[in-house]
Amino acid sequence: MAFLSVNPATGNEIEQYSEHAPAEVDTRLDRADAAFRTNRDRTFDARARRLRRAADLLEERSETHGHLMSREMGKPVSQAVGEIEKCAWVCRYYAENAADFLADEPVETSAQKSYAAYEPLGPVLAVMPWNYPFWQLFRFGAPALMAGNSILLKHAPNVTGCALAIEELMADAGFADHEVQTLLVEEDTVSDVIADRRARAVTLTGSVKAGKAVAKQAAAQVKPTVLELGGSDPFIVCDDADLEAAAATGCTARMQNTGQSCIAAKRFIVDRRVADDFTERLLAHVERLTVGDPQDSQTDIGPIARADLRADVHDQVERAINDGAVAATGGHTLNRDGFYYAPTVLTDVEPGTVAFDKEIFGPVASVVVAENAEHAVTLANDTRFGLGGSVFTENRTKGEQIARQLEVGCAFVNEMTKSDPRLPFGGIKDSGYGRELSHHGIHEFVNAKTVWVE
Residues 6+ apart with CB under 8 A from 420: 437
Whether residue 162 lies in the annotated active site: no
What is d(CA 81, CA 252) in angstroms, rounded to the nearest whole number? 17
What is d(CA 73, CA 309) in angstroms, rounded to the nearest whole number? 11
DSSP 436: B
Quick check: helix, strand or coil at residue 212? helix
Q: Which helix (H) or strand (E) holds 315?
A: helix 307-322
**Residue in 167, 228, 407, 436 annotated catalytic:** 228
Whether residue 228 lies in the annotated active site: yes
What is d(CA 415, CA 263) in angstroms, rounded to the nearest whole number? 13
What is d(CA 395, CA 346) in angstroms, rounded to the nearest whole number? 28
Residues 6+ apart with CB under 8 A from 177: 34, 35, 38, 39
Nearest CA among 4, 6, 9, 2 for reference residue 340: 9
Write the burial class of residue 18 (CB in 10 Å: 0-12 exposed, 13-18 middle, 19+ buried).
exposed
What is 84-149 written as a DSSP string?
HHHHHHHHHHHHHHHHHHTS-EE--SSSSEEEEEEEE--EEEEE--SSSTTHHHHHHHHHHHHTT-
Q: How many angstroms separate the Cα of 171 from the Cα of each of 54, 57, 160?
A: 9, 11, 17
Identity of residue 148: G
**Residue in 91, 238, 251, 262 annotated catalytic:** 262
| Residue 41: count of CB within 10 angstroms of its CB | 9
* Pair 39, 149: CB distance under 8 Å: yes
Question: Do strands 123-127 and 150-154 pair parallel, antiparallel, or not at all (unpaired)?
Answer: parallel
**Which phi and psi (to 5°) does residue 416 adopt?**
-75, 155
* Pair 304, 313: CB distance under 8 Å: yes
Sign of CA dihedral 40, 44, 48, 50: negative
β-bridge mates for residue 113, sequence order = 453
**Enzyme catalytic residues:** 228, 262
